[in-house]
Chain A
Amino acid sequence: MQFISILLAGVLTSNFIFMQYLGLCAFVGISEQFETAIGMSGAVIFVMTFASTVAALFEQFVLVPFGLEYLRTIAYILVIATFVQLVEIFLKKTAPSLYKALGIYLPLITTNCAVLGAAMLNVKNNYGILWGTVNGLAGALGWSLAIVIFAGIRERWKFIDIPEVLKGFPLALISTGLMSLGFLGFSGLFKTLLK
């Protein structure tokens, strides 16, 4: 039951983009084309899920036993950066086709605040290793859902006439706001189901 509730919360009710404002730079920056949005989503799902596991392991076996919790930020960012680098090397050797598809997006993920944000939220909610990983996966799926929908909307902008002052970021933000308003509607939907 907890599995479903964390998953639904991550994808719908507390979506990373629409409800928690995590990973917005990449969301606005890489959503111009449907294809690239899909590629980035794949990379984010992969990295965020396993980075959450690695960060949770690190928390449990290094930071807590040695009383180093105050260094969490600096430790996590190093763990994530190292992990991304390792994934890149590993994929290059073992799955060249996947590496080719994700290649350019992987290094970008280190500075995607959704990844570090997911790891931080896991600690804040005391999720531990297993649920932390599930939460990372759920968050990544929610993020991907958001960017794929948004890229679909953005592709249509090419065919419509947009006022000069609204072009680019202002319109992107306003439409994200409207989508977010839609996602706000989910917040009541599962209240009875999950409690």
Chain B
Amino acid sequence: MNKRSLIGEFTKGLIEENATFKMAIGLCPTLAVTTSLVNGFWMGVAVVFVLTFSNVFVSILRKVTPDQIRIPVFVILIATPVVIVELVMKAYLPAMYQILGIFVSLIVVNCIVIARAEAFAYKNSLLRSAFDGLGIGAGFMIDLMLIGAVREFLGTGTITVGSVVLPPKPLFEPMSVMLTPPGGFITLGVLMTVLNIVFQRAAAKKAKTVS
């Protein structure tokens, strides 16, 4: 594999190696907390923070970590930023901490974080790993916000960010099932299908211009 630039390490996480839609990992928080755009945003922030720091820690210690016990080592290195996020959120955003519930602590066993530690940070330099973590995290955050926005819009008829409500009045009868667990599964399934169609079209177009 040829080396990418640092910017490339960042942008690949947005589309090419997008955690939710391309690799379908880390699904639990993706569905559990995305009942609104704002919830998705804060969960995304927590994951970006954890992913960046866990990648940095793993990368720093990669030369002294024995191969056989690397998974337990990763888990401890990941748990450290998770506990930091938990405590900070509890102190400064208690309401959001209540909503996100145990899913903040569960970032520690999130497949995305472990997968990036194992597949990327364990083999790459500090700076590269930091950018990889930021990129994958940002991609994940966009996914969460997208799913959150769709579910909030269909489920309540409006999207609320702070004191701004758009559109001011629901345009249709809200479908509250979108806010329940079944709505989450179906929303993500349909979004994945739509993106598959988009990517397929894009690939076909590219193939045409090359030939």
Contact = CB atoms under 8 A, between A and B. Distances in A.
A28 B109 contact: no
A170 B193 CA distance: 6
A21 B181 CA distance: 8
Contacts of A96: none
Interface residues of A, number: 42
A24 B102 contact: no
Contacts of A164: 196, 200
Interface string A50-62: 0000000000000
Contacts of B101: 124
A121 B102 CA distance: 7
Contacts of B180: 184
Contacts of A25: 25-28, 111
Given A20-B32, A70-B83, A174 B189 contact: yes
Interface in B71-109: 71-72, 75-76, 79-80, 82-83, 86-87, 101-102, 105-106, 108-109
Interface residues of B, number: 43
A120 B76 contact: no
B189 A78 contact: no
B45 interface: no
A116 B29 CA distance: 14
Contacts of A63: none
Nearest to B194: A165
A126 B170 CA distance: 40
B200 A18 contact: no
Contacts of B185: 173-174, 176-177, 180
A177 B189 contact: yes
A113 B101 CA distance: 14
A177 B187 CA distance: 9
In order of increasing CB-CB distance, the 7 nearest A-B pairs are: A177-B185, A173-B189, A174-B189, A177-B186, A21-B32, A181-B182, A74-B79
Interface of A: 18-25, 28, 70-74, 77-78, 81, 110-113, 116-117, 120-121, 124, 164-166, 168-174, 176-178, 180-181, 184
Given A70-B86, A177-B185, 13 more contacts: A18-B182, A28-B27, A72-B105, A74-B79, A81-B75, A116-B105, A116-B109, A165-B197, A169-B24, A173-B192, A174-B190, A181-B177, A184-B181
